[in-house]
Amino acid sequence: MSYSDVLIGLQFGDEGKAKIIDLLAEDYDIIARFNGGSNAGHTVVHEGKKLILRQIPSGVMYADKQLYIGSGCALNLVQIADEIARIESAGIDVKGRLAISGLISVIQPHHIELDCLFGKYVGTTKNGIGPYYAGRCTRVLDQRLQNIRLGELLMKEELFEAIADNYRFHQEIYGFESEVDLEDYLAKMRASLKNLEQCIVQEQNYLLQEVKAGKTVLFEGAQSFLLDVIKGTVPFVTSSHTMASYAYVGGDLPAKYHRKTIGVAKAVMSRVGEGPFLTEIGDDSILDPVKNAKQNEAHLDVEKMLLSSDTNTYAQGLRIASNEYGSATGRPRRMGHLDIPLMKWSIECNGVDEVYLNKIDLFNLFAQGGDKIPVVSAYQLAEGAKTDRFSPLVDKIERPDYLDIPSFSDPKKSEGTVLEIEKLVGTKIKAYGIGPAREEMIFRS
């Protein structure tokens, strides 16, 4: 029977989704992206090969899997050309099995300039994502087409002039200094378009036809639920829809093929960029990217930091010990306790059927030498009341309320701890990770 499943992240991104996709991909024919663009950074390690993926679906490591990039994504032609070249130089074919919706639009150079100019407040990845999605909705600005679709660009060379015109138009308004050589950038876009020509599907029901022919699909969410443009911690979110149900809009398939929703979370929570993080440890929320760069932290005494009563030092120790740095950007991530109400909220909103929980082996770091791990089970409100319901309208919340759950002597004996988390979140934890390798995922009966 044909069906599709959707996999999303339940927290603030970087939960290890690509690793789980890599683990599950074997059971599907097509791995498809439905949202986001080169702002994603997915690390996959497969049969000894490590790849950082940004736009290409994580099933790429399996030679027999088809890959699809849906119309809900943002296509950066210049970046994807580099990414494909990098993957193909590792001996993995991409273009022979990649399909890209002709309805996807392209990132234009002014999107990147505007993001560099205005993205700091949100702490964006500077990939032009916000201006891209804004431009799609704007449609036309002063008679200038803002939404340049791939399928059309392929057929109308004059749209490259529209892209150049958009650049000059925005430059005049915002006065940005050119970070790119426009002609050179357009030449790279043209070359990439030509290179991708065979992958662009003008048949809009491409995926549906594949599914009707008996294929199964795994939709791979980029970013994560709390970064959804509407349901997340607005305005500190990305600009696409990260919700599971959006897979059927941005992924170009009727929802009737949906079978189940898979949620991925990690026991050691982190967030990159600005925005509320209720269970954050320390107040280092605006991280100094130089001081906290991976290489500058490497020499520190992590064991000692993990026992520190200074919360910023402790958070720094946690970051180093759990290697929490952006895979594409290298940005240091903010660290926090496992937030149970937040997880329950994500599960509820997305109708998650089963959870994969990464980084259980590192969960013990929160015990600070003791035998209990504090997790956040509720929030204290300003008036002295307490709630165990997460809300993206977080202003009223004063501080988190902690609950201790048992630690473990050895990651292989962490089943009891996982069971406690499962009881708290009220949803099946299908498997948990006790190390980075795919063999270190423990499936539960």
Q: Which residues are catalytic?
A: 14, 42
Q: Confirm if 216 and 29 have CB atoms less than 8 A apart.
A: yes
Instruction: Return the residue of 77, 186, 193, 227 that touches ligand IMP, per CB under 6 A.
Output: 227
Q: Which range in 24-32, 36-44, 160-168, 411-419 contacts ligand IMP by CB under 6 A?
A: 36-44
Closest to ligand IMP by CB, 287 or 375: 287
Closest to ligand IMP by CB, 78 or 305: 78
DSSP per position, 98-131: EEEETT-EE--HHHHHHHHHHTTTTT--SSSHHH
233 binds ligand IMP (CB under 6 A): no
Parallel, antiparallel or unpaired: strands 334-336 and 269-271: antiparallel
**Segment (H or E) for 380:** strand 372-381
40 binds ligand IMP (CB under 6 A): yes
Closest to ligand IMP by CB, 72 or 151: 72
127 binds ligand IMP (CB under 6 A): yes
Cα–Cα distance for residue pair 63/306, rounded to 1 Å: 42
272 binds ligand IMP (CB under 6 A): yes
- Candidates 424, 223, 243, 230; CA nearest to 341 is 424
Q: Which range in 206-214, 232-240, 250-258, 284-292 contacts ligand IMP by CB under 6 A?
A: 232-240
Q: Which residues are paired to 372 by β-bridges? A: 406
Q: Which residues are paired to 31 by β-bridges? A: 67, 218
Q: Confirm if 324 and 333 have CB atoms less than 8 A apart.
A: yes
Instruction: Return the residue of 4, 8, 11, 14 that touches ligand IMP, per CB under 6 A.
Output: 14
Q: Which residues are paired to 224 by β-bridges? A: 9
239 binds ligand IMP (CB under 6 A): yes
41 binds ligand IMP (CB under 6 A): yes
Q: Which amino acid is at 332?
A: P
Number of residues that bind ligand IMP (CB under 6 A): 19
392 binds ligand IMP (CB under 6 A): no
Residue ranges of alpha helices (H) inside 197-323 are 206-212, 247-250, 294-297, 302-306, 311-321
Closest to ligand IMP by CB, 251 or 273: 273
Instruction: Return the residue of 55, 125, 316, 358 that touches ligand IMP, per CB under 6 A.
Output: 125
21 binds ligand IMP (CB under 6 A): no
129 binds ligand IMP (CB under 6 A): yes
Instruction: Return the residue of 66, 71, 233, 238 that touches ligand IMP, per CB under 6 A.
Output: 238
Closest to ligand IMP by CB, 129 or 421: 129
Give the three-class secondary structure for 306: helix
Closest to ligand IMP by CB, 272 or 375: 272
Instruction: Return the residue of 4, 79, 223, 261 that touches ligand IMP, per CB under 6 A.
Output: 223
Burial bucket for residue 410 (CB in 10 Å: 0-12, 13-18, 19+): exposed
Cα–Cα distance for residue pair 65/232, rounded to 1 Å: 32
83 binds ligand IMP (CB under 6 A): no
Q: What is the largest CA-CA distance in the chain?
A: 66
73 binds ligand IMP (CB under 6 A): no
* Contacting positions for ligand IMP (CB under 6 A): 13-14, 39-41, 122-125, 127, 129-130, 223, 227, 236, 238-239, 272-273
